[in-house]
Structure 1
């Protein structure tokens, strides 16, 4: 399977990317091809809502959006990776998701397999409620086929994350595909 991992953390060596690395390790060990798109370092601008694309064409913006679109459409699975920012995905991942607009029809009809990996500082039982609901709604709307979620609470920095079971869970999710 061709898997596209979309990392979005401004902290290249932070907790969410540590979890992504473990997922990637497991997926590769199971024989899958994995590509990483780093949304935090890409030249990617927010959707303007201009409808130039008509939901099925090129975007009016000249940035890494067309490269990302090709990578997504060529993939069998997409993994959305984010730190939790105020109970939602970070702006870098939200920009990626908003840019789905230019190929919504193609993406919706694909029935894309997806997974979500989130790292949060807090460990309250309600910490992941909103981001999980957002992802579930996105899956429902875009006809995505959820393959799993790693909702890493208590993962405020790399040492904290390493002391949790979430790196192992991420690895196991990658291995299970």
Structure 2
């Protein structure tokens, strides 16, 4: 693509962003495409929730962590316990496919995933995956953590789950590939999908803070 074409397409993309507005095309839905109703997920019981952040940006700059924090605040307000793991900055290693764990642990890597995250995951009622959109998929940092689920695959089945993601682009297909990947993971892990907050058109912290996505994330947490 030459410079003239790049400028043309960049201009069209910016115009699309300005016309659509952050928050207009996004979704915040329960498994049936509706807002989560109060106590419909927890049955009124207090849950243990593990939130896995994967943005490499600073907390006060990250758009996905902002939504993650809003969800967590809502969940805590409802009395649930929230454990947050920083998948981008903790010491982690990708799965080697060595199968020494035999899908029943422990992993050959004695890192933060094995020692800090995995015990929390095993006892969790709900897992929240949080990612910025990179090349229309999840971040490498989140994928690294998910691949390491292999060492306890069976023990992580049957939990509740949620996806939180943010992206600069605002096209209606922006989150399609990521959402479908998440749906496949939910099916494989036999998880119960609580919902998705897909923050399209949110290329900066100020944009996501001005959008409706923060309120959507908070409300899902508060209504669990």
In structure 2, runs of 5+ residues without a counterpart are: 1-46
The alignment status of 1:132 with 2:179, answered yes or no, reads yes
Cα deviation 1:119-156 (Å, max 9, x = unaligned): 10110000000000000000000001111100000111
- In the other structure, the counterpart of 1:93 is 142
CA displacement at 1:12 relative to structure 2: 2.9
Query: How far apart, CA to CA, are the structure 2 residues paired with 1:59 and 1:128?
Result: 32
Cα deviation 1:61-83 (Å, max 9, x = unaligned): 12112221111011111110000
Which range moved further: 19-28 or 59-68? 59-68
For the Cα contact (< 8 Å) 1:19–1:166, is it kept in 2? yes
In structure 1, runs of 5+ residues without a counterpart are: none
Query: How far apart, CA to CA, are the structure 2 residues paired with 1:46 and 1:8?
Result: 14
Query: How far apart, CA to CA, are the structure 1 residues paired with 2:107 and 2:223?
Result: 36
- In the other structure, the counterpart of 1:29 is 77
Q: CA RMSD in A?
A: 0.8
Structure with bigger gyration radius: 2
The alignment status of 1:157 with 2:204, answered yes or no, reads yes
Q: Match of 2:196, SS?
A: strand
Report the TM-score, using the length of structure 1 for normalisation: 0.97
Cα deviation 1:80-126 (Å, max 9, x = unaligned): 00000011100110001000000011112xx1101000010110000
Report the TM-score, using the length of structure 2 for normalisation: 0.77
CA displacement at 1:21 relative to structure 2: 0.7
Q: Match of 1:47, SS?
A: coil
Q: Which runs of 4+ in 1 moved over 2 A?
A: none
The alignment status of 1:18 with 2:63, answered yes or no, reads no
Q: How many residues were matched structurally?
A: 175
